[in-house]
Amino acid sequence: YTPDPHANTVGIRMIRPLRWSFAGALAGTFLAFGAGPYPVKVGPDHRHLVDQSGAPFLVQGDAPWSLISGLTREEAELYLEKRRSQGFNSIIVNLIEHKFRGPVNRYGEGPFTTAGDFSTPNEKYFEHADWVIKKAEEKGMQVFLAPIYLGYIGTDEGWIEEGLKNGPEKCRAWGRYVGRRYRDFDNLVWMIGGDRNPEKAREDVDAIVAGIQEYDYRHLFTAHCHPENSAIDQYKNDGWLNLNTTYTYNIVHGMLLADYNRVPPMPFILTESTYEGEHNASAVQVRRQAYWALLCGSTGQMMGNRPIWLFDPGWQAALDSTGAQDMSRLKTLFTSRPWYQLVPDLKHEVVVDGLGEFRGLDYLAAARTEDGATVIAYLPTARTFTVDLTKIAGKAAKAWWFNPRTGKSDPAGEFPTTGKKQFTPPGDGDWVLVLDDASRKAAAPGHS
C-alpha cells in the first residue's frame, strides 16, 4: 500500500479559492443541516465547511461522548432519532471510552482483548462501534470520532498513560487499524485528543494520526485540546489539521473572534463551552455561546449536556431539555438567512452603540452579509442599542424581532437606510434583531 502523497492536504490546499455562486449559496440554505452527502470538506473561502455537492454546511452538534460504550443499540437509536428530529447533524463520540461508561460496552465487550494493549483490538467491540456510526449516518449525522481521548489533566479519564506505555510503534499500528476500518465510512471527522494538550504524549499522538493517514485521506482532521486552547495552538505545525476548534469557559466571544482572525484563515467550530446541567449553567448561557459562535464567524457549534455526555440516569428526559429546543430554534433562524455570507461586525460599524461589556456576558454580537442584505444582532440582555442603517443594502430595511426562547418572529417596522436608529426589544431577556433589505421580501426569520 502506498500512502496518498496529498494526504495532509485534504480539503484545503486541493480546493481553488473561488467564490461561491449565488445559486450554490442559495442551495446551502436548504442543504446546511445534514441534507448533503458526507464527508464534508473545507470550502473555497477557507472559512466554512461544505458538503460533497459544494453547499455550505453548518455544524449543529451535540456531545454524547460515551454513545458507543454507554448505550445498547436500541438506546443509541433512540438518542440518534431524537437528535435528528431536533435538527442536529453532528455528534462528538469517543471510539474507545476509558472511564465513563467504559472501557467495556453494554454488551460486555472491551476495545482490546488485552486491557490497554493497542495491538489487540477486539472485533466484537468494534462491530458494535461500526453499527452506531452507520446508524448515525442513516439519521443524517456525522460523527466527530475521537480515537484516543487523552483525558483532563490530573484525572484517569483518558488514555494518555496507555498511549505512553504502548509507545509510538503500537500507537501507529492502532492508527492504521482505525484508519483502515473507518476509511470508507462517509460520515466521519477525526477528532484527535480530548480535554488535554498532547504534551508528553505528542510522539504517540502523532503516530496515531500518521497511522490513520496511511489508509484514510478522505476525512477532515480536527482536535480537542485543554480548555482555553484552540486546536491550531497545539497542532498548527503538524500538517494534518483542517478544522480548528474553540474550547473556552472564559470570554467565549473573545476567543471566537481570535480564531476568526487567524491568518491564514481556517474554518472553526465552537467545540465546547459551558455544558447545560453543569457549572450552574443558565439557559441564556447555553444560548448566548451558540449565537456568539455563529455571529463571530464559526462554521458551527456543539452543545453539551449533562447527563447526556456520559449517559447518566435521566438522560432520556434530558433529550427534550431547554437547550436542545433552543438549538433547534437557532437552526431555524440561521438557515432562513444566508448564514455562510455573514461577516462579523468587528469594527462595530453596523451596531455602533449599546454593545455592552466586551469582557462581559452581555456583549452584543452582530454580523452582516457580504452584500449588505441582512444584519443579525444577538443581545444577551434587553437594552436599547443603535444601528447604522446606511450599512444595509437597498432603500429601506425591514426589521424583525426573533425570540430565541420561543422561536417566534414579530415585525418591527420598515425604515429608510439613511441614518442611525435606536432599537429596543419588546421585552426582557435575550433577543435577536434581524434587518433585511426590504426589496428582497425575505420571509420572517425562522421561516423559509
Single-letter residue type at 106? R
Q: Are 332 and 406 in contact (CB under 8 A)?
A: no
Average pLDDT, the chain: 92
Q: Please say if the pLDDT value at position 23 is more than 60.
A: no
* Angle CA 306–132–287, to nearest 5: 30
Q: Does a cis peptide bond (omega within 30 degrees of 0) precede residue 198?
A: no
Which of 301, 438, 295 has its CA nearest to residue 379? Answer: 295
Q: Please say if the pLDDT value at position 27 is more than 60.
A: no
> What pLDDT, on a 0 to 100 scale, did the predictor assign at position 360?
87
Q: Please say if the pLDDT value at position 280 is more than 90.
A: no
Q: Are 62 and 91 in contact (CB under 8 A)?
A: yes
> pTM for this one?
0.91
Residues 6+ apart with CB under 8 A from 86: 324, 325, 327, 328
Q: What digits encode the pLDDT tens for the residues 226-273? A: 999 999 999 999 999 999 999 999 999 999 999 999 999 999 999 999
Distance CA 150, CA 141 (A): 24
Q: What digits encode the pLDDT tens for the residues 29-80? A: 333 333 447 999 999 999 999 999 999 999 999 999 999 999 999 999 999 9
- Can you spell out the DSSP letters for 379-419? ESS---EEEEGGGSSSSEEEEEEE-TTT--EEEEEEEETTS
> What pLDDT, on a 0 to 100 scale, did the predictor assign at position 12?
30
16-30 exposure pattern, b = at least 16 Cβ within 10 A, e = fewer: eeeebeeebbebbbe
Ranges 6-15, 112-121, 344-353, 426-435: which has the least confidence: 6-15
Beta bridge partners of 189: 144
> What pLDDT, on a 0 to 100 scale, did the predictor assign at position 30?
35
Which of 399, 405, 370 has its CA nearest to residue 385? Answer: 399
What SS3 class is residue 300?
Answer: strand
> What pLDDT, on a 0 to 100 scale, did the predictor assign at position 74?
98
Q: Please say if the pLDDT value at position 99 is more than 60.
A: yes
Which of 391, 404, 378 has its CA nearest to residue 437? Answer: 391
Q: Please say if the pLDDT value at position 293 is more than 80.
A: yes
376 phi/psi in degrees, rounded to 5? -125, 130
Q: Are 373 and 394 in contact (CB under 8 A)?
A: yes
Please compute the mean of the pLDDT values over residues 309-336 and round it to a whole number.
98
Please compute the mean of the pLDDT values over residues 91-100 and round it to a whole number.
97
Beta bridge partners of 373: none
* All three cell numbers of 10: 485534504
> What pLDDT, on a 0 to 100 scale, did the predictor assign at position 448?
75
Block residue for cell numbers 496518498: 4
362 phi/psi in degrees, rounded to 5? -105, 15
Residues 6+ apart with CB under 8 A from 127: none
Given 3-state DSSP classes, what are the helix, strand and coil percentages for the chain, each rounded to the nearest 5?
A: 30, 20, 50
Percentage above 70 pLDDT, the chain: 92
Distance CA 268, CA 248 (A): 13
183 phi/psi in degrees, rounded to 5? -65, -30
Distance CA 221, CA 191 (A): 6
pLDDT band for position 358 (50/70/90)?
Answer: confident
> What pLDDT, on a 0 to 100 scale, did the predictor assign at position 32?
38
> What pLDDT, on a 0 to 100 scale, did the predictor assign at position 412?
98
> Within the chain, how many helices (H) and strands (E) appear?
11, 20
Residues 6+ apart with CB under 8 A from 168: 203, 204, 206, 207
Strand blocks (E) in 136-281? 142-146, 188-193, 221-224, 244-247, 268-272
- Can you spell out the DSSP letters for 44-91? TTSSSEE-TTS-EE-EEEE--TTHHHH--HHHHHHHHHHHHHTT--EE
